[in-house]
Amino acid sequence: MNVRRTTIKDVAEAAGVGVATVSRVLSGGSASPETRERVLNAATQLDYRPSALGRNLRQRRSGGIGLLVPDITDSFYGRLADGVLACARSAGEPVVLGTTGDDAEREAEQIGMLLEQGVERVVAVPAGNAEIWEPTLRTGLTMVFAHRPVTARDDVPAVLADDRAGVRTAVDYLTGLGHRRIAYLGGPGQGQRVAAFRQSVGALLDEELIVFARGSRDSAYAAAAGLFQHRPDLTAVLAGGNQLGEAAVLAARELDLRVPKDLSLVMFDDVPWAELCSPPLTVIAQPAQDIGYRAAELVLRAGARRPRGVLLPTELIVRGSCGPRRTP
Partner DNA sequence: AATCATGATGGAATCGTTTCCATGAACGTG
Partner DNA sequence: CACGTTCATGGAAACGATTCCATCATGATT
Which residues of this chain interact with DNA, rule CB under 7 A? 4-5, 7-9, 16-24, 26-27, 30-32, 34-36, 48-51, 53-55, 57-60
Query: By C-beta, is 54 or 226 nearer to DNA?
Result: 54
Q: Which residues bind a copy of itself (CB under 8 A)?
A: 1, 3, 49-54, 56-57, 60-62, 64, 67, 71-75, 78-79, 81-82, 85, 89, 92, 94-99, 112-118, 140, 217, 243, 246, 249-250, 271-273, 275-278
Return the one option of DNA, a copy of itself, none that residue 115 interacts with (CB less than 5 to 8 A, by type): a copy of itself
Return the one option of a copy of itself, DNA, none that residue 73 interacts with (CB less than 5 to 8 A, by type): a copy of itself
Query: By C-beta, is 61 or 181 nearer to DNA?
Result: 61
The sign of the CA dihedral 203, 168, 283, 243 is negative
Any bridge partners for residue 51, and if so which? none
CA-based nearest residue to 238, from 186, 175, 178, 160: 186
**Are 296 and 268 spatial neighbours (Cβ–Cβ below 8 Å)?**
no
CB of 244 to a copy of itself, least distance (A): 12
CB of 305 to DNA, least distance (A): 20
CA-based nearest residue to 75, from 328, 271, 209: 271
Tally of CA atoms within 13 A in the half-sphere of 99 that contains its CB: 11
CB of 116 to DNA, least distance (A): 9
CA 31, 36, 39 angle in degrees (round to 5)? 125
Query: By C-beta, is 6 or 321 nearer to DNA?
Result: 6
Cis-peptide, bond into residue 260, ω within 30° of zero: yes
Query: By C-beta, is 6 or 136 nearer to DNA?
Result: 6
Give the C-alpha separation, 236 to 234, whole Å.
6
